[in-house]
Amino acid sequence: MFRGKKILITGGTGSLGTALTSRLLNEGVDTIRIFSRNENKQITMESKFKDDRLRFLLGDIRDYSRLVRAMEDIDIVFHAAALKHVPIIEYNPFEAIKTNVIGSQNVIDACLEENIPKAVAVGTDKAVSPLNTYGATKLLMEKLFVTASNYLQKDRHQTNFVALRYGNVLGSSGSVIPKFIEQIKNKEKITITDPSMTRFSITMDEALDFILKATEISKGSEIFIPKLQAYSISGIKDALFDLLGNTGSDIIGIREGEKMNEVLLNREEIRYSWEYENMYMVLNPLSKNNVPIDEYSNATKVDSMDEYSSDSVKKFSIEEMKKIITNSKLLTK
Ligand SMILES: NC(=O)c1ccc[n+]([C@@H]2O[C@H](COP(=O)([O-])OP(=O)(O)OC[C@H]3O[C@@H](n4cnc5c(N)ncnc54)[C@H](OP(=O)(O)O)[C@@H]3O)[C@@H](O)[C@H]2O)c1
């Protein structure tokens, strides 16, 4: 579905945006417009890719008119731009609302104005029953997206707005494994919040497979969630000490706004949830446009699950963690 298509990625210079760009170029897209604020990141990305199908647009998703201009003739919008660092957002909540909520609303409005066929928003497990401001802003982003399929475009058609949710991308900017690796390489003790804390884990390649698959099967108003395994912080510590040597650890305690375990599907959502072999799909009970479920081939109803949380799913063994970390090439970066 991507061959020959014109794509816009908000946040295209970020960890996900860069990896998605690479994958979409291999899928034979016509053009990718990268939309973000920092010119230096764009210059670095441009010289890394050297591909004339890429266009770099400076812009802020807080600026609606800039988004409208950027979306001219686009077929698919991937909305990945966000503020995402939990402690920074706790301290600067107004800024997160402007980017993650109002910016997302601007993306939706611009899609409707420019008659975009499909728009996919990238979300997080932290949006489920949120405890911190980041999660709350991403919950609102999801809500805006799954409801927006009800609205008509300027040409009276509909945009298929879709939301995705997944857990920590291994090695993405600001994530815990690169931080621990740096501490160990510097012969420092690693700083652990709580050894029994668990998190869903997804590699960048798995996240890309999931994003492209969900984009293909979506018809509008759904939330898609991949089926994932999880790790505990003590599991990561043991795997990294085995790989790099034991420099010791300090327990610094759970931070403001953090949960011990993350949830990808809460109890209430199970009622509206369907599953595929590798993912779940939550249908929006308030959508006016839900297509009949038999049009989603191979989706079966989820009925025997309580909650899909990182403490309830299978954990990676230490050996599996070591293999994942080694394959991710994070040790050599
Ligand atoms: N990383 C994870 O583990 C993870 C897990 C689940 C979901 N997610 C979600 O996935 C998305 C991408 O995450 P990531 O890890 O790739 O983040 P990232 O590396 O921090 O990238 C964020 C991107 O957004 C851009 N951006 C930020 N504010 C913007 C604004 N106001 N206007 C336009 N562009 C803006 C940044 O570029 P400039 O600063 O130059 O504007 C950058 O390109 C986010 O929505 C995040 O919530 C991430």
Q: Which atom of ligand 1 is nearest to the CA of 15?
A: 16
pLDDT at position 132? 96
pLDDT single digits (tens) 189-241:
999 999 999 999 999 999 999 999 999 999 999 999 999 999 999 999 999 99
Alpha-carbon distance of 211 to 83, in angstroms, equals 20
Residue closest via CA to ligand 1's atom 17 equals 14
pLDDT for 27 equals: 97
* Model pLDDT, residue 65: 98
Query: 9 CB less than 6 Å from ligand 1?
Result: no
Res 303: pLDDT: 84
| Residue 37 Cβ contacting ligand 1 at under 6 Å | yes
Distance CA(269)–CA(222), nearest Å, equals 12
Alpha helices in 218-309 (DSSP H): 233-244, 267-270
> Which residue numbers are catalytic?
126
Residue of 43, 84, 99 to mutate, ligand 1, most atoms within 8 A of C-beta: 84
* Residue from 89, 172, 264, 310 to probe ligand 1 pocket by mutation (most atoms less than 8 Å from CB): 172
Determine the structural domain holding residue 110 and report its residue range: 6-166+203-227+264-306
Per DSSP, the three-state class of 149 is: coil
101: domain CATH number is 3.40.50.720
Ligand 1 midpoint to CA 94 (Å):
17
Positions of the chain with pLDDT under 50: none
| DSSP for 12-57, written as a single string | TTSHHHHHHHHHHHHTT-SEEEEEES-HHHHHHHHHHH--TTEEEE
Looking at residue 297, its pLDDT comes to: 87
Please report whether residue 292 resides in a domain: yes
Q: Is 81 a member of any domain?
A: yes
Closest CA to 81 of 100, 109, 59: 100
d(CA 116, CA 249): 50
Whether residue 107 lies inside any domain: the answer is: yes
CB 213 within 8 A of CB 279: yes
| Position 79 in a domain | yes
- Confirm whether 61 is domain-assigned: yes
Number of domains in the chain: 1
pLDDT at 292: 84
Indicate if the alpha-carbon torsion angle 306, 308, 310, 312 is positive or negative. positive
**With a 6 A CB cut-off, is 173 part of the ligand 1 pocket?**
yes
Angle between helices 318-327 and 233-244 (to 10 degrees): 70
In three-state secondary structure terms, 330 is helix
Residue 134 lies in a domain: yes
What local confidence, expressed as pLDDT, does residue 221 receive? 94
Q: How far is CA 2 from the centre of its chain?
A: 19
Q: Is residue 188 part of a domain?
A: no
Q: Is residue 44 part of a domain?
A: yes
- Please report the sign of the dihedral spanned by the C-alpha atoms of residue 44, residue 45, residue 47, residue 48: positive
- DSSP H or E stretch at residue 136: helix 133-148
- Kindly state the tokens that stand for 296: 């989603």
* pLDDT tens track for 154-169: 888 889 999 999 998 9
Q: How high is the pLDDT of residue 97?
A: 98
| Residue 3 burial (C-beta neighbours within 10 Å; 0-12, 13-18, 19+) | exposed
Q: Whose CA is nearest to atom 19 of ligand 1?
A: 14
What the block records as the tokens of 263 is 């949830």
Q: How far is the CA of 135 from the centre of ligand 1 (A)?
A: 14
Instruction: Give the separation between CA 183 and CA 173, rounded to whole angstroms.
Output: 16
Tell whether ligand 1 has an atom less than 6 A from the beta carbon of residue 60: yes
Residue 41 near ligand 1, beta carbon < 6 Å: yes
Q: How far is the CA of 315 from the centre of ligand 1 (A)?
A: 27
pLDDT of residue 158: 86
pLDDT of residue 252: 94
User: Token pair of 158, please?
Assistant: 């509909």
Taking the C-alpha atoms of residue 270 and residue 272, their distance in angstroms, rounded to an integer, is: 5
* Global confidence as pTM: 0.95
Q: How far is the CA of 11 from the centre of ligand 1 (A)?
A: 5
Contact 62, 98 (CB under 8 A): yes
CA 83 to centroid of ligand 1, rounded, Å: 6
Ligand 1: centre distance to CA 81 (Å) = 4
Name the nearest CA neighbour of 237 among 179, 159, 314. Answer: 179
Ligand 1 close to Cβ of residue 15 (< 6 A): yes
In a 13 Å sphere around the CA of 120, the CA atoms on its Cβ side amount to: 25
